[in-house]
Structure 1
Amino acid sequence: MLTLTQDLYDKIVEHARKDHPDEACGVVAGPAGTGRPERFVPMLNAARSPTFYEFDSKDLLALYREMDDRDEEPVIVYHSHTATEAYPSRTDVTYANEPGAHYVLVSTADTDGLGDFQFRSYRIVDGVITEEEVQVVAAY
């Protein structure tokens, strides 16, 4: 199960809406070994595409160095889908290289008739996709 604060949830959704119609992407870092998402790090979609996201390699390297210096790890890796449901594509699975991370997808397409976005979380390990429950809390 992914547990995150309302503030982080809102920031991820806001980033997805702001970058629409392009896909948004980013990371939420947390103290190494805790599994607790704390530090919101929106990234630039270097592909600037409505159907694909790509972290800028220099920005990603800088982020990993910064996380290493702060004894953090990527707890959440998120991106948005602008025209499809919030479910990992084959490309998403191929790029899922953090087996300990929660992969959050926000769909800004109204694909379920329940509102203007979906927020779902997955574990992706060795190509296997497992959806998990999301719990939003006021604070840790």
Structure 2
Amino acid sequence: MVAESSLVLRIPAAIYEQMVAHVVAGYPNEACGALGSQGDLVVKDYPTDNAAEEPDDFSIISEADIVRIYNDIDEYDGDMIYYHSHPQSEAYPSARDIDWAKRSGYLYVIFSLQYHPKPPYARLFKIDSAGSVTEGSIEII
């Protein structure tokens, strides 16, 4: 894994708190959602249900939610970022996360709830089409 100092995601504190509440509410399953961003600034949170067949082991946003989110993000010419939680492990892309991210090209924010009931922590990742993982940083503003 490579760390990239230029990969920064700025998240307003109110949105970050909404994300934390969403992933905690999903525990002990994985929770997921999307963020709308403009440049490096998150402007909207889209919490979703986990549509995976086995939500304790993986997370997927339903096709209907993806379409709804994309349509809304298009209204402000933004970009989509995927976020989800790992209830039992660290905030790092799993092999399955990497496989999905290679196809989607999304930035990933991953929360770890491995120390639940303590608050989760989050990390930012970019995964390229070859599966290389680059870690960025999250700034709560």
How would you bin the TM-score normalised by the shorter chain? 0.7 to 0.9
**Residue 78 of structure 1 corresponds to which residue in structure 2?**
83
Structure 2 match to 1:35: 40
| Contact 1:2–1:102 (CA under 8 A) maintained in structure 2 | no
- Contiguous gaps of at least 5 residues in structure 2: 1-7
Residue equivalent to 2:137 = 133
d(CA) in 1 for partners of 2:79 and 2:119?
Answer: 31
Shift in Å at residue 86 of structure 1? Answer: 0.6
Question: Which residue number in structure 2 is paired with residue 122 of structure 1?
Answer: 125
How far apart are 1:67 and its partner, in Å?
A: 2.0
Structure 1 position 89 matched with structure 2 position 69:
no
Residue 18 of structure 2 is aligned to residue 11 of structure 1 = yes
Q: State the Cα RMSD in Å.
A: 1.8
CA contact (8 A) 1:106 1:119 kept: yes
> Does the CA contact (< 8 Å) of 1:6 and 1:136 recur in 2?
yes
Question: Between the two proteins, what is the percent identity of the paired residues?
Answer: 29
3-state DSSP of counterpart to 1:106: strand
- CA displacement, residues 92-128 of structure 1 (integer Å, 9 cap, x when unaligned): 11111443x43100011119xxx44221111111211
Q: Report the count of equivalent residues.
A: 130
Gaps of 5+ in 1: none
Task: Tell me how far apart the structure 2 counterparts of residues 23 and 123 of structure 1 sit (CA, whole Å).
Answer: 20
Cα distance between partner residues in 1 of 2:137 and 2:36? 19
Q: CA deviation at 1:61?
A: 1.9
Pair 1:71–1:90, CA change in 2 (3 A): same
Q: Distance in 2 between matches of 1:135 and 1:70?
A: 22
**Letter of the aligned partner of 2:28 in structure 1?**
P
SS at match of 1:122: strand
